[in-house]
Chains A and B, each alone.
Chain A
Amino acid sequence: MNHHNISCNKTSFRYNLIKQGKHLVSITLLGLLVACDNFVEVELPTSQLTSPTVFENYTTATAAMVDIYAQIRNNGVLAGTVTGVSNQMGNYTDELTFYGSSFMGTINFYNNTLIPSNTDIATLWNNSYSQIYATNAVIEGATNSTGLSVAEKNQLLGEAYFTRALVHFYLLNLFGDIPYITTTDYRVNSIVSRMSSTQVYANIKTDLLLSSSMLSDDYITPERVRPNKATVKALLARVYLYTGDWNAAVNEASDIISNTGLYVWDTNLDNIFLKESTTTIWQLMPQSAGRNTEEGSTFIFNQGPPPVVALNDNLIAAFEVGDERKNHWTKAVTDGVNTWYHAYKYKQFTNTGTSQEYSIIFRLAEQYLIRAEALAQLGDLLGAKTDLNKIRNTAGLPDTAALTQQDIITAIIQERRVEFFTELGHRFFDLKRTNNLDAALSGVKTGWNTTDRLLPLPESELLMNPNLNPQNPGY
């Protein structure tokens, strides 16, 4: 457009130009016009790679995958921080007592006064779906890649399908019916509706079976920090347990328990949460060498009153006399008048020369208790008791006295309570799937309501995508 302007002006004063400085003006005009459109094209910034490039190379593609584990470790449901489920659902149920600031969202978990605008709720939800987006990006990137070998693709896809299923599993058990996201396309994802729990579980199983077929039995790197086939089976076993598919649960758990080449039972309770533990199936590595777990920093305190949380008196009372887990996995702190207990599974509160503990997501004890419960449901009471006693004996307790099927199942749930306390919301999920939430909590939690079995969907989410309506009951 301006090219024309310039030439018009040029014509209008050409008469004068002939006399003086014609060449000078011409040079200037040339200077004005010499610019071409590609002046405004820029190179990629130093900190970014185009998405297809990332998946042409196994190293960068792996960096995209492991970043998801780092996100899971730092944020979202599985994080050991105060906003992860270990702390939040511990407060929500009868595992933890909250002493922290009333400005923390956790107080509303503790008081069972959650509302949809609670920012910790939005944190759980948004971080989880951000992690799911990243798994879908890996799945799409690896699938379309021409630079990765079949084995490399299988490794990445196997991990991504597993992770996608894992995060959805937790969302499902916290929020109820949720959308199952399988694409990066925002046009689809921004208008999704909620999916029935049955359908979500079906999708989780599909992803896990796919993943199981792609991952190898061995860990591809040292230290059990990348999921292998047993990790996938561990989640599958849990999914089958939660959905009442007892035979399948027994099969998956047995596959892991029988893999004694990798998973060796350890009767020393102080070894269980070390990073070298032979009962660990999958754990998350800390951010840097010398760091230990977020769980340790969240739960441990050295003097009272507790800065954030302490173990709930009901939990302390739940330990049978002689339970070594109370001695090894909890610790008392006193100010001379009052005594408080904190979780002491992870014993490192701060950094050590080299890291000693990683955040464990799946461990062998759960597989025994899954199999015990599934066998009990199937009527194999002897088999159930054998698995249950394996756990009890390790904790220094005698064999269970339970006789009937129902008593054995109750004993298993009680055992899970003292075995998995402050671990990733097990207590809440166990009470919920066995329909015991009201019975267990309404007496000890004054704010408890039946509708508290589901967390509210974040208010912002319903506002931006009305297809997610209705809100969960009670909110």
Chain B
Amino acid sequence: MKIFSFKGYRQSVFCSFFCITAINLLSSVAWGQQAITVQGKIYDNLSSLPGVNVTVKGTTVQTISNYDGSYTIKTSTKDTLVFSMMGYAKREIAIQGRNTINVSMSEEATSLQEVKINAGYYSVKEKERTGSIARMTSKDIEKQPVTNVLATMQGQMAGVSVTQSTGVSGGGFDIQIRGQNSLRANGNAPLYVIDGVPYSSEAIGGGITATVMPALTSPLNNLNPGDIESLEVLKDADATAIYGSRGANGVVLITTKKGKKGKTTFSTSINSGLGKVTRFMDMMKTPQYLQMRAEAYVNDGITSYPPDAYDINGTWDQNRYTDWQKTLLGGTNEITNIQAALSGGNAQTQFLVSGNFGKETTVFPGEFGYKKGNLHTNLNHESDNKKFRINFTAGYTIQDNNQPSTDLTPEAWSIAPNAPALYDENGNLNWENGTFNNPLRNLEGKSLANTKDLVANMLISYKLLQNLELKSSFGYTDLHHTESSTFPSTIYNPAYGLGSEYSVLFANNTSRNSWIIEPQLHWNKEFGKARVEALVGSTFQQQNNVQLVQQASGFMSNSLIYNLAAASNISVFTDEATIYKYQAFFGRVNLNWDKRYIVNITGRRDGSSRFGPGKQFANFGAIGAAWIFSNEAFISENLSFLSFGKLRASYGTTGNDQIGNYQFLNTYSTSGNNYQGTIGLHPTRLYNPDFGWEMNKKFEAALETGFFNDCITLTSAWYNNRSSNQLVGIPLPGTTGFPSMQANLDAAVQNRGWEFTLRTVNFQKENFRWTTSLNFTTTKNKLLSFPSLETSTYANQLVIGQPLNIKKVYHFTGIDPQTGIYQFEDVNNDGIITATEDKKTVKDLNPEFYGGLQNQLKYKQWQLDFLFQFVKQENYNTAATLALPGTMSNQSTIVGNHWQSPGDSAPYQQYSSGANGAAVDAFYKYISSDAVITDASFIRLKNIALSYEVPKKWMKNVQCKVSLQGQNVLTFTSYKGADPEFTALGFLPPLRIITSGIQLSF
């Protein structure tokens, strides 16, 4: 993880500017001097440096260096010029009558601690923060050729685990910050805040319309990584309690790019590249496959092959071979991304306008693809007297996704290798006289998604007094999403004789808008060695969601499949308008004594419409403290190698209201079922009005140290979070009529772990700089208590003392050498293997540890970055994906090592065509046993980026950088299967992407 950005962090520039101005005002002395104009160029190690503040010491006269590092300032002969910029050591140079002063500035290692970190409602200096906040900046993001913000976070931050769920463009990612807090699988999403506006990550699509994806469509795809200036992840109570009820799972703060003062600059970048599936499974080829099939029938005592065993009974060519993974998933995803931005402004007003267009094709056969366009604008203004400020940002994104309605991956794994050709001699889909369920039929159906998303916000602030500022943010989001899946009659085998009257369209329209107003008062004052900051504020938010899900069938023609008017049957599954209202009061007090002792207290009172009367409000709060011991005289005098040292700790409470709306009501809803022309009403849920907030108590202690002028910095943190009063849809047996019911469960979940972030400057010379950063997280999730778990409906999902994400499975004990059938441990020794009694082995699917190792090497104009992501975990292996070996379904080659005759010892049982009941039964037990949950650890060269900055002298006035970037380039794993990174089996693995790009700015 890279915690700091070096320059251009606008707020910080403002801040230092104000400080300098204030000091100058105090010490201003007038001299009788001669007026001159000084000019010059400012450089860092490698190139010219734009945006440097140049001030005449003791005055308010100032300027900013241009894009090429040049500056001009009117001053007098005996003055001193002060050159300052975030991330660089400040320099003061006396003019001594010179007209030209060229300045070389160097990056200041210790200044990393001066960076202002966005903590949401306030910002805090990196070194003075009391909370746990991880940070990435645009520099980390722009190296990665990906289109999803969550993808950019993989392997970058301690405590943040991100898993890609499908390689299909526009697909989603799973994120967990410090483990799973809630028993509810969908109650673990962090809160996303974009420029101060909460952005709902709740799914916007429907299960029946996003058929190609493993999960519902996430609105997070709308965010354009290229627009992000910085991304902060708030983890502990100190940082998250001010977000109260929505902070339990962490907070992701996204700050978009802002206009910068200076000459109007146009910059553009073009990237294009190729993506391929990272890993395929090692599947059987025809001879081995047919041998397996033949052996299966022999084993089952079947001498004449059944009429539907087309692969082996002579119907299909037995010498044919197709590598179905290569044929169906082996295509190339062509990627193009173009970005352009115009920015500039003076000291009062700055602007930024940027646009982005991206396009991806698909690895599937056929014409599919994903397009994303985006417009981002920002406008800042500050009044002359610096009392009034306004900051307006708006982003608009359009996404257009066109994918097949079904992911071809499962069929690429299962189709017999000697299955017939995909097309007949006329170029039509080959159904081989109805014997071949052609996989390309899936391409006849489409899964389309179109999203338009606006996120706008305005922050207005007015300084009432020197140290009292009134602020209010106003945010608005507006999202429209249409999604459809089609299943035209042509996806069916013509043997069914289905015409367009059997074509089906599923259509989903979602609109979501929200507004938020957050008035706040900020106050700060210094009393001698003490500095006090305080803020109070309140939040009013409303989110409106409208969703319409329809099924249409019976089309007069397949060409009219998107025309609902051409359908003879239309069913409305969902037509729902929901409102979510939210209100809060919050406050913060921060005391800083002599830059050594810091206490930070935050609190929030939250109300949410998601709870029933009397349960709507709850209070949350936290206290954090830090001791910067390196500022103690006895340390700084005796331990000179220790450049920075801080101990910090925090404790507090947060909550979780991710339970959906209206769950407390006892209602009937329309079912969409028509009977006698009446639309049916069905009971919506099992009724429970009494559920309340889930509480999450977080504790963290951390030690932050810097050695040798911060050439080595190390942060070690230990956290212990506990969630209680778990609000869950308690799974219920079918006899209750519902799969689950919403209720607070008196159970507690603990997440405890260590996080380490190490950053070293390995080498630093004039032309060469090498830095390394490592983040490492080890985490343990544990169910602490669960009253009467044994008699509850969770009895077979959870075990006290074990993580939540476990599987209770049979214990596989090997193969009976006589029968060649899988055997399992009979835990209760009753002679039969039953799920309730014998699924007692616990397998933990949580990662044991994970992290990333990033290296950056800079040599003159060259820069090389590479990131290795590593995860130690167990997960389902290939055997869990595939059918019974011996049936008409291809297999991984590892199954070849199987039992053949009595006395054999082999890892896999005898083949069976499905007629051997004992083998079938043992197989199903096998795939619910510990044998299929094995090591799925991996080390991945997640990202590699090489760039070369063309020297200025070659291209006058133009900054030019060329780059080569790769994502998921290499994967080292012993995993038996496709790719070890997945959330559910049977979906397209992630892609390996290589792109090249050029970036110009002038």
Residues of A within 8 A of B (CB): 1-3, 5-6, 9, 13, 16, 20-21, 24-25, 28-29, 31-33, 35, 37, 39-52, 54, 60, 62-64, 66-71, 73-74, 99, 101-103, 107-108, 111-113, 115-117, 122, 125-126, 129-130, 132-134, 136-137, 179, 181, 184, 186, 189-192, 221, 225-226, 285, 287-288, 290-291, 301-307, 335, 338, 349-351, 446-447, 449, 458-466, 468-469, 471
Cross-chain contact of A45 among B497, B576, B682, B738 (Cβ < 8 A) = B576
Task: Report the minimal beta-carbon distance from A231 to chain B, rounded to whole angstroms.
Answer: 15
Set of chain B residues within 8 Å of A122, measured between Cβ atoms: 734
Which of A186, A285, A301, A302 is packed against the most chain B CB atoms within 10 Å? A186
Tell me if A465 and B793 are in contact (CB < 8 A): yes
Residue interface mask B726-738, A partner, CB < 8 A = 1: 0000011111111
Known: A40-B616, A63-B680. A350 touches B501 (CB 8 A): yes
Cross-chain contact of A71 among B538, B673, B684, B739 (Cβ < 8 A) = B673
Task: Report the minimal beta-carbon distance from A468 to chain B, rounded to whole angstroms.
Answer: 7
Tell me if B497 and A6 are in contact (CB < 8 A): no
Set of chain B residues within 8 Å of A54, measured between Cβ atoms: 668, 681
Once the chains are docked, how many angstroms separate the CA of A28 from the CA of B883? Answer: 67
**B587 contacts the other chain (Cβ, under 8 Å)?**
yes
Tell me if B464 and A71 are in contact (CB < 8 A): no
Tell me if B605 and A115 are in contact (CB < 8 A): no
Tell me if B675 and A69 are in contact (CB < 8 A): yes
**B785 contacts the other chain (Cβ, under 8 Å)?**
no
Set of chain B residues within 8 Å of A463, measured between Cβ atoms: 795-796, 835-836
Tell me if B921 and A303 are in contact (CB < 8 A): no
Which of B538, B668, B676 is packed against the most chain A CB atoms within 10 Å? B668
Tell me if A39 and B581 are in contact (CB < 8 A): yes
Task: Report the minimal beta-carbon distance from A87 to chain B, rounded to whole angstroms.
Answer: 15
**B997 contacts the other chain (Cβ, under 8 Å)?**
no
Residue interface mask B452-471, A partner, CB < 8 A = 1: 00000000000011001010
Residue of A nearest to B300 (CB): A446
Residue interface mask B500-527, A partner, CB < 8 A = 1: 0110000000000000000101010000
Once the chains are docked, how many angstroms separate the CA of A451 from the CA of B502? Answer: 40
Residue of A nearest to B517 (CB): A31
Task: Report the minimal beta-carbon distance from A119 to chain B, rounded to whole angstroms.
Answer: 12
Residue of A nearest to B577 (CB): A46
**B767 contacts the other chain (Cβ, under 8 Å)?**
no
Tell me if A305 and B673 are in contact (CB < 8 A): no
Residue of A nearest to B301 (CB): A446
Tell me if A190 and B678 are in contact (CB < 8 A): no
Cross-chain contact of A464 among B502, B681, B732, B921 (Cβ < 8 A) = B732
Cross-chain contact of A70 among B605, B619, B674 (Cβ < 8 A) = B674
Set of chain B residues within 8 Å of A225, measured between Cβ atoms: 675-676
Once the chains are docked, how many angstroms separate the CA of A459 from the CA of B609? Answer: 38
Cross-chain contact of A102 among B521, B676, B678, B887 (Cβ < 8 A) = B887
Task: Report the minimal beta-carbon distance from A175 to chain B, rounded to whole angstroms.
Answer: 12
**B434 contacts the other chain (Cβ, under 8 Å)?**
yes
Cross-chain contact of B585 among A1, A21, A47 (Cβ < 8 A) = A1
Tell me if B496 and A184 are in contact (CB < 8 A): no
Once the chains are docked, how many angstroms separate the CA of A52 from the CA of B667? Answer: 8
Once the chains are docked, how many angstroms separate the CA of A445 from the CA of B496? Answer: 27
Once the chains are docked, how many angstroms separate the CA of A287 from the CA of B573? Answer: 13
Set of chain B residues within 8 Å of A351, measured between Cβ atoms: 501, 554, 568-569
Residue of A nearest to B520 (CB): A32
The 4 closest A-B pairs by CB, nearest first: A133-B737, A67-B680, A2-B585, A70-B673
Residues of B within 8 A of A (CB): 307-308, 433-435, 437, 464-465, 468, 470, 492-499, 501-502, 519, 521, 523, 534, 536-538, 540, 554, 568-569, 571, 574-583, 585-587, 603-605, 607-609, 613, 616-617, 619, 661-662, 665-671, 673-676, 678-684, 686-687, 731-739, 741, 791, 793, 795-796, 834-836, 883, 887-889, 914-915, 917, 920-921, 924, 928
Once the chains are docked, how many angstroms separate the CA of A302 from the CA of B538? Answer: 68
Which of B492, B579, B580, B736 is packed against the most chain A CB atoms within 10 Å? B736
Tell me if B737 and A44 are in contact (CB < 8 A): no
Task: Report the minimal beta-carbon distance from A250 to chain B, rounded to whole angstroms.
Answer: 34
Tell me if B577 and A45 are in contact (CB < 8 A): yes
Residue of A nearest to B580 (CB): A42
Task: Report the minimal beta-carbon distance from A21 to chain B, rounded to whole angstroms.
Answer: 5
Tell me if B538 and A40 are in contact (CB < 8 A): no
Tell me if A40 and B608 are in contact (CB < 8 A): yes
Set of chain A residues within 8 Å of B577, measured between Cβ atoms: 45-47
Task: Report the minimal beta-carbon distance from B738 to chain A, rounded to whole angstroms.
Answer: 7
Residue of A nearest to B493 (CB): A307
Tell me if A41 and B576 are in contact (CB < 8 A): no
Cross-chain contact of A288 among B307, B569, B578, B609 (Cβ < 8 A) = B569
Task: Report the minimal beta-carbon distance from B755 to chain A, rounded to whole angstroms.
Answer: 32
Cross-chain contact of B534 among A9, A134, A303, A458 (Cβ < 8 A) = A9
Tell me if A288 and B495 are in contact (CB < 8 A): no
Cross-chain contact of B796 among A73, A303, A338, A464 (Cβ < 8 A) = A464
Cross-chain contact of A67 among B495, B499, B673, B915 (Cβ < 8 A) = B673
Tell me if A51 and B736 are in contact (CB < 8 A): no
Once the chains are docked, how many angstroms separate the CA of A62 from the CA of B241? Answer: 49
Known: A16-B468, A43-B579, A462-B835. A129 touches B735 (CB 8 A): yes
Known: A6-B536, A50-B666. A469 touches B609 (CB 8 A): no
Cross-chain contact of B738 among A64, A69, A130, A471 (Cβ < 8 A) = A130
Task: Report the minimal beta-carbon distance from A107 to chain B, rounded to whole angstroms.
Answer: 7
Cross-chain contact of A13 among B523, B887, B921 (Cβ < 8 A) = B523
Set of chain A residues within 8 Å of B889, measured between Cβ atoms: 102
Cross-chain contact of A9 among B523, B580, B581, B678 (Cβ < 8 A) = B523
Cross-chain contact of A37 among B433, B523, B607, B683 (Cβ < 8 A) = B607
Cross-chain contact of B587 among A5, A101, A349 (Cβ < 8 A) = A5
Set of chain B residues within 8 Å of A28, measured between Cβ atoms: 470, 519, 521
Jot down 12 A-B pairs with beta carbons below 8 A, ordered by A: A20-B464, A25-B464, A28-B470, A33-B538, A35-B540, A49-B681, A70-B675, A290-B569, A447-B915, A464-B731, A464-B793, A468-B735
Cross-chain contact of A462 among B554, B836, B914 (Cβ < 8 A) = B836
Once the chains are docked, how many angstroms separate the CA of A3 from the CA of B587? Answer: 10
Once the chains are docked, how many angstroms separate the CA of A110 from the CA of B889? Answer: 18
Known: A115-B921, A134-B737, A447-B915. A42 touches B669 (CB 8 A): no
Q: Please name 18 further chain A to chain B contacts, defined as beta carbons within 8 Å, in addition to the given A67-B680, A102-B888, sorted by A numbering.
A: A2-B603, A6-B536, A28-B470, A29-B521, A40-B617, A45-B578, A46-B575, A49-B667, A60-B668, A64-B682, A69-B675, A130-B737, A133-B683, A184-B737, A306-B495, A307-B434, A350-B502, A447-B915
Tell me if A40 and B581 are in contact (CB < 8 A): yes
Tell me if A32 and B470 are in contact (CB < 8 A): no
Once the chains are docked, how many angstroms separate the CA of A465 from the CA of B793? Answer: 7
Once the chains are docked, how many angstroms separate the CA of A9 from the CA of B589? Answer: 10
Set of chain A residues within 8 Å of B662, measured between Cβ atoms: 42, 44-45, 48
Set of chain A residues within 8 Å of B434, measured between Cβ atoms: 303-305, 307
Tell me if B568 and A179 are in contact (CB < 8 A): no
Set of chain B residues within 8 Å of A112, measured between Cβ atoms: 917
Task: Report the minimal beta-carbon distance from A323 to chain B, rounded to whole angstroms.
Answer: 26
Cross-chain contact of B495 among A6, A302, A338, A464 (Cβ < 8 A) = A302
Known: A5-B603, A190-B732, A305-B435. A349 touches B537 (CB 8 A): no
